[in-house]
Every structure is written in C-alpha cells, then in structure tokens.
Amino acid sequence: MTELAGPEGAASAEQIGLSHREAAASPPGHTPSQGTMAPRDAQSWAAKVDRLAVDQRAGVRGTNVAGRRLTGPVQGFGKMWQKTYRMEVGDAIEPAAAIALWRSNFPDFWPKGNRFAGALTGINPGDVALLDLAVGGGVKLSTGVFVLYADTESFTLMTPQGHMFAGWITFSAENAGDGTVVQAQVLMRASDPIYEIGMTLGGHRKEDKFWVATLRALGDRLGVPDAPITAENSCVDKKRQWRHAGSVWHNSMVRSVLQTIAAPVTALVRVARRGSSTTREEQAAPVRNER
Amino acid sequence: MSVPALSMDVRRVGESIAIVDIKGDVTAACEPVLMSAYEAAGGASASKLVLNFAGLEYMNSGGIGMLVTLLVRANRQRQELAAFGLSDHYREIFELTRLDEAITIYDSEESALVGAVK
C-alpha cells in the first residue's frame, strides 16, 4: 500500500436542476408494487438503457453524452486497472451514514476546477450526470457518468463512450473491525489509444490525486480531516484490446478541444438562426391578425 | 468484512467443461469463494466454464466487478465463460453492464452444454 500526499483544495461543485426525466422517476426509497419474488437488489440497479438520454443543465457544457452507449471494462481498450482508495474514519461514523452523506452531496467533494452536474436529489440509480473536467491548458473535458447501482452501503458510476476510461467506480463504506473505512474503487481500461497514452504519461497519477482529494474533502465533512488515506493500484490485465481501438472516434477529449475551438463560430451561427426565426415570426404575425 | 452468504459447487462435465452452481449473494466479498471454485473447476484444464445462476439471490455492483476479474482470468487461459439460469432481472443487469458481450448467456444448462461443445 502506498500512502499518498495530502489533499488538494476541494471546493463545492454544483448540483444543478432536476431534469424532467429524473423528476418523473421514482424518488429514493420508493418501492413500486412488485411480486413477492422481486430480488432484494431490484431497487438498487438502474433500469436497462441502450443509449443515454440527457437534459441540458446550466453550468456545464453537456456535450458528448447524449446518444452514447455505456462502457464497462469489457469494452475498453487499454490495460485493465483496479485502483482502490481507502480512508479510515474511525468508529464514530456508521458506514450507512457516510454513504448517505456522500450520495446526497457527491459534487461537493470533487476537487476544484471540476464540475459534476447531477440531480438535486443526489445519486440515484438511472441518473445521468454531466461532467466538465479540468484537463489543463484551459480545456474542459465534457463527458458524463451513469448511476448504475446505489444502496445504503455503496453506489457505482459507469462511464459512457468517449469518457477517459471504460469502467465503473464504486464508492462504499464498511465496518473493518477497528472502525469504518470508506472507499472509492475504480475498475477500468482507458477507452482508446489516445487516452491510454495519456494515462501512461501522468493520467494515472492525476487520477490518484483526484480521488485522494475527494476522500480528503469527504473526511473534512465527516469531521475527520486527518484521516489516513491509502491508494493501491493493481494491473488486472496487461493486454490491450485492439479490437476497441476504434473507440477513438468518440473521444470526448478530442471533441471537447474541437468544441472549444469552434465555440465562437457556433455561437454566431446560433445568434444568426435566432435572428432569422424572429424575423420570420414578425413577418408571419400580420397574416394571422388578418384572419 | 462480513462473511459471504454464498456457496459454489463445482461439477465436471466431460474433460473440458466445468459447471459452477452459484447459490446465495454475489458481492465483492465472495471473491475468494469464486476463485476457489475456479481452481476446483480445474483451473486452466477446463476449456469452458459455465456459471449456473439459478440459485442467485442477490448481486451488487461489487459482484459484477468480481465476475469481470474472473473473466480476465479465464481469457488469460483462453477459456470460454458462459452462464445460464439468470432471471430476467439479472439478465438485464448483464445487458446493462454489457457483460453479456463477453459471457455467453444461455437459457438452460442443456443449451449451455450444447453451445459449449460447438
């Protein structure tokens, strides 16, 4: 196990708007009528989706998510890694309390410069959150995550096509004998060859810092600012899956850069379209009045 | 860590196929049980490993992660991984997580075995 260096400043990200889709979904704890044979985990898993549908939210660009498929480690390109970040928070905090706090305030614990636009109700199965991630050079990588699973002891996010990695991040808490341990565990492959190079050239280190900072911010909120944090990375599969190299087409980093460059032109086109549609409405209005 | 509420019994069908009957809760905590079952199934000597989920009572996302680890291990040995006995609920989870693209799902043990010898 490797003890990693201390926290980066963690600032509040935003929890922005409840989408129509999420508003129509079951609230947390709601149990729809089901047969008596429904599995115990039935309410914890998201319903099956083929492609992600999202509503725009203020505060994030919200691109590179709609219409994308979910990707697990099976669909990724690079080596498969399991990364485990653990924080001991003592015996005064119950695991369920730690997870409840984490689920309901998830964006608050993200490191500064990154935005997680989820639902106001917190993390619930089937939610789609939009992300703007700071990748350096003033570029924000726009992508998203899907809430695959959530219960009182853990929750799991799954990534869409174009995300840096294909896989899952599971956040959990358990009583480990001496006290409660909270954990973030990533099971992932880099999504495509570009990301694989990026992960090798500092991406893994950056991700380690990201999750350590997240745990540190959670520890602060739980009242244990100096809680020991450990990180353990293991390569589960050294093979690269070249059959998935074509995933580079969806690369959100490349697309985000292009979207940033094209932003002024896109804005002009949007203004021009708005102007022309307003003119058409003004011209059409007298015709309606004459009837 | 809590003791996993899980049992796995291994049956050999011929020389190359092993069936693992899974009963109980599949979570990350039961990785040692699954890996022991994998070894009991013959480890690398079986060319196909068939998981019987008819007795599956509960599975969380940690359990799915554990199946991915097993899949990697099987692929390393050039073994095929298949499954049967999944309820509609768990079949949907396999489809949602896209695990069904790597683990072939059959409706019954018979069809899994027929598929296995193809």
Q: With contacts defined as CB-CB under 8 Å, which chain A residues touch B57?
A: 39-40
- CA-nearest residue of chain A to B64? A168
Number of CB pairs < 8 Å for A and B? 75
In angstroms, the CA B5 to CA A283 distance is: 72
User: Quick check: B61 and A49 CB within 8 A?
Assistant: no
In angstroms, the CA A152 to CA A75 distance is: 28
Tell me the shortest Cα–Cα distance from B15 to chain A, in angstroms: 27
Which is nearest to A66 in space by CA: A55, A50, A53?
A53
In angstroms, the CA B5 to CA B55 distance is: 12
Reported as a single tens digit per residue, the pLDDT across A179-222 is: 999 999 999 999 999 999 999 999 999 999 999 999 999 999 99
Reported as a single tens digit per residue, the pLDDT across B34-70 is: 999 998 887 667 899 999 999 999 999 999 999 999 9
The complex's ipTM works out to 0.90
On whether any CB of chain B is under 8 Å from the CB of A42, the answer is yes
Q: Give residue A232's pLDDT.
A: 97
On whether any CB of chain B is under 8 Å from the CB of A148, the answer is yes
Tell me the shortest Cα–Cα distance from A237 to chain B, in angstroms: 7
Q: Give residue A56's pLDDT.
A: 80
Residue A142 — very low, low, confident or very high, per pLDDT cuts 50/70/90?
Answer: very high
Reported as a single tens digit per residue, the pLDDT across B72-101 is: 999 988 899 999 999 999 999 999 999 999
User: Quick check: B61 and A42 CB within 8 A?
Assistant: no
C-alpha pair distances (Å), A102 with each of A105, A206, A213, A281: 5, 22, 14, 49
DSSP bridge pairs for A85: A184, A231
Q: With contacts defined as CB-CB under 8 Å, which chain A residues touch B101?
A: 74-75
In angstroms, the CA A203 to CA A193 distance is: 13
On whether any CB of chain B is under 8 Å from the CB of A113, the answer is no
Q: Give residue A151's pLDDT.
A: 95
pLDDT of A24 above 80: no
Best residue in A74, A84, A174 for a mutation probing chain B (most B CBs within 10 Å): A74
Q: Give residue A284's pLDDT.
A: 58
Q: Give residue A2's pLDDT.
A: 40
Is pTM beyond 0.90? Reply is no
Q: With contacts defined as CB-CB under 8 Å, which chain A residues touch B76?
A: 237
